[in-house]
Amino acid sequence: MSPRKKEEWIEVREAAAIISEHSGREISPDYVRLIATKEGRIQWKPKDRRQNYYLKSDVEKIVVKQRQKRNTGESQEMTQDGGSEKAA
């Protein structure tokens, strides 16, 4: 039986740096907290009353994609064939 790998826990700034590197853009520590505590995508444990540790193996799996911009200011009309066409 092979020895079990010890879990490595990191602080929020290091987690944000790792996710930023994987995502190709800046990710804030606040967003790391959000995806850990609200979305449950990263396992975390309390460090003290104000700070948490984050499981490094979970952090390394996260890639944050760019949000798609909404189509604003342009209305779309349906064409006779059922497709849509941008109105000028």
- What is the residue extent of each domain of the chain? 9-64
Residue at token pair 């064939």:
81
pLDDT at 46: 95
One-letter identity of residue 65 = K
pLDDT digits (tens, 9 = 90+) for 33-70: 999 999 999 999 999 999 999 999 999 999 998 888 77
Q: What is the dihedral of CA 20, 36, 44, 18, to 10 degrees?
A: -10
Dist. CA 53–CA 58, nearest whole Å: 12
The whole-model pTM stands at: 0.70
One-letter identity of residue 64 = V
Residue at token pair 């826990």:
9
Sign, CA dihedral 83-86-87-88, equals negative
